[in-house]
Amino acid sequence: MTVWDRPEPPTRPVPLDRERIVAAAVALADEGGLEAVSVRKVAARLNAGPMRLYGYISTKQELFDLMVDEVQAEILPEEQPDDWREALRVLAHRTRQAALRHEWLADLLGGRPTLGPHGLAVTEATLAALDGLADIDTVMRAVETVSAYVTGAIRREIANLRAERATGLSKLDWQRASGPHVTSMLASGRFPALAKAVYDGTDVDAETSFATGLDWVLDAVAAKLTRPPA
Amino acid sequence: MTVWDRPEPPTRPVPLDRERIVAAAVALADEGGLEAVSVRKVAARLNAGPMRLYGYISTKQELFDLMVDEVQAEILPEEQPDDWREALRVLAHRTRQAALRHEWLADLLGGRPTLGPHGLAVTEATLAALDGLADIDTVMRAVETVSAYVTGAIRREIANLRAERATGLSKLDWQRASGPHVTSMLASGRFPALAKAVYDGTDVDAETSFATGLDWVLDAVAAKLTRPPA
DNA sequence: TCGAACGGAAATACAGTGTATCGCCATGAG
DNA sequence: CTCATGGCGATACACTGTATTTCCGTTCGA
């Protein structure tokens, strides 16, 4: 039995870096949601033992932070429109699209301050869009407000999307979808305005809803900006 | 061996109901955050075995749903103001206060459709505030927009609050707090607008920030409402 | 050239999780 | 008094995040 007969020994441990770890984690989350991301599974996908990862992160939460920052890279457009309003709109829509590509992002959005390079870059871009159009405090308030709306709207959209997927029914069949419960609640007469909304409201698609609310918020921002800066 | 010598037999199992289960879960979450809520610990607090709970809920997620609905009961004011704007403001601020009392609410807010009785009641109250002031679709858009803002703003506030608590430093010391990283990032010149905001912006307290953004959003709503309904 | 020290990866270990299943026992019916 | 039933606890399982220990290949010093 010479060397030549024997197969090569199992490959030396694959060199790791954060990039590869995060990519594996993102892939897992894209396939099975955040709950499919476990240290063991991420490591397995990289042919490594679980503990190996703890040389690159010190906690699973940090892995999530890295994942968020990673997909935030998809948010920044190649070039920013000059018009502040258009710039903010693009950022918002790209955030939404990122969340639709990576639904787990909705679970993490707004959950922790985004201090990673791409997260900072997104914040920078948002601030830059309004830079000089008002005093700094107004700009900060504007950024906070728009971001809060975007976060909240995306979260709700994904939540509804999952609910529809789980029941297999469309939002229009909302009350029937949730079983007798909501139906009877609405029939109880205790929620007249809600009942009217469900029965008489035309259900608009999610993107339109997002865009409409966003426009309203941008209107509000515009109103504050036009007041001359200090 | 008379009756008097013998101890009482082990107490009969405590009767359970959802209310007590949810109350125990909420208490645990208030003390140690959402992660402190485990089926075993909730059950232990009720002198019951873990599996006992599965007669009342079928999944831990359902327990969370019940918890959210429970604290949503705290949101509804005794009586609604007549002015729609004041009504929405009150609802928003009470939601925020509930989240400050139960910080874990921020983790759940917007995560799933709120179909519980109190959740529906909150939605009803929100819709009712605007009922009749515009066509139904406009009203729905308005409710969605305001809710999205409230959700997002509360989430960010709690996230920042936790971050400050973890580093033990105030938001003003943000860049120093996060260690050399943010400091060097800001110094790098790659984020001029951000740097300006951090250094020149006056940091306003969270409540004011919340209220300001809310007012802006309400301004936007007002602008749409004044356009006569169809 | 041998030995020892070192560094990093892997294996093991632990305490805990959500939930399915099983077996028992106290209660009520006949 | 016996038997069936229903609900409860105990047990079990697969899995989690992470600390610790064990081991081995490499590199350096003598």
Q: What is the mean pLDDT of each run of 10 residues along chain A (230 residues)?
A: 54 79 98 98 95 96 98 96 97 98 98 95 97 95 98 97 81 61 86 92 93 98 76
Residue B183's pLDDT is what? Answer: 84
Same domain flag for A119 and A221? yes
A136/B200 touch (CB, cutoff 8 Å), yes or no: yes
- Residue numbers of the domain that contains A218: 75-226
Lowest mean pLDDT among A213-222, B118-127, B190-199: B190-199
> How many CB pairs (< 8 A) connect A and B?
187
| A64: in domain | no
Q: Which residues of A84-104 are buried (b: 16+ CB within 10 A; e: fewer)?
A: bbebbbbbbbbbbebbbebbb
Cβ contact B52 with chain D strand, < 7 A? yes
The domain boundary residue, chosen from B42, B58, B74: B58
B144/A209 touch (CB, cutoff 8 Å), yes or no: yes
- Which CA distances in Å does A13 have to A6, A47, A52? 20, 8, 10
Residue B28's pLDDT is what? Answer: 98
Strand C bases with any atom < 7 A from protein Cβ: 8-13, 16-21, 27
| B159: in domain | yes
Give how far B48 is from chain A: nearest CA, Å.
28
Could you give the CA distance from residue B2 to residue A179 in angstroms, rounded to a whole number?
57
Q: What is the pLDDT of residues B157-175, one digit of tens each?
A: 999 999 988 877 665 566 5
**pLDDT: is A5 or B211 the higher one?**
B211
In three state form, how does the secondary structure of chain B look?
Answer: CCCCCCCCCCCCCCCCCHHHHHHHHHHHHHHHCHHHCCHHHHHHHCCCCHHHHHHCCCCHHHHHHHHHHHHHCCCCCCCCCCCHHHHHHHHHHHHHHHHHHCCCHHHHCCCCCCCCHHHHHHHHHHHHHHCCCCCHHHHHHHHHHHHHHHHHHHHHHHHHHHHHHHHCCCHHHHHHHCCHHHHHHHHCCCCHHHHHHHHHCCCCCHHHHHHHHHHHHHHHHHHHHHCCCC
Which among B113, B123, B201 has CB closest to A137? B201
Same domain flag for B89 and B178? yes
Domain count, chain A: 2
Give how far A209 is from chain B: nearest CA, Å.
7
- Within 129-148 of chain A, which residues have Cβ less than 7 Å from strand D? none
pLDDT over threshold 80, residue B49: yes
| A67: in domain | no
Which among A152, A160, A197 has CB closest to B127? A197
| B7: in domain | no
| A69: in domain | no
Same domain flag for A80 and A174? yes
pLDDT band at residue B36 using 50, 70 and 90 as cut-offs: very high
Same domain flag for B69 and B128? yes
Query: What CATH number is given to the structural domain containing A138?
Result: 1.10.357.10
Residue of B nearest to A208 (CA): B141
Residue B41's pLDDT is what? Answer: 98
Same domain flag for A81 and A156? yes
A31-36 own/partner pairs: CB under 8 Å, 24+ apart: A33/A103, A33/A104, A34/A64, A34/A104, A34/A107, A34/A108
A201/B159 touch (CB, cutoff 8 Å), yes or no: no
A145/B216 touch (CB, cutoff 8 Å), yes or no: yes
The spacing between the Cα labelled CA in B40 and the C1' in D8, in angstroms, equals: 15
Question: What is the DSSP-derived secondary structure letter of residue A167?
Answer: H
Same domain flag for B215 and B117? yes
Query: What CATH number is given to the structural domain containing B37?
Result: 1.10.10.60
- Which CA distances in Å does A49 have to A9, A29, A42, A54? 18, 19, 9, 10
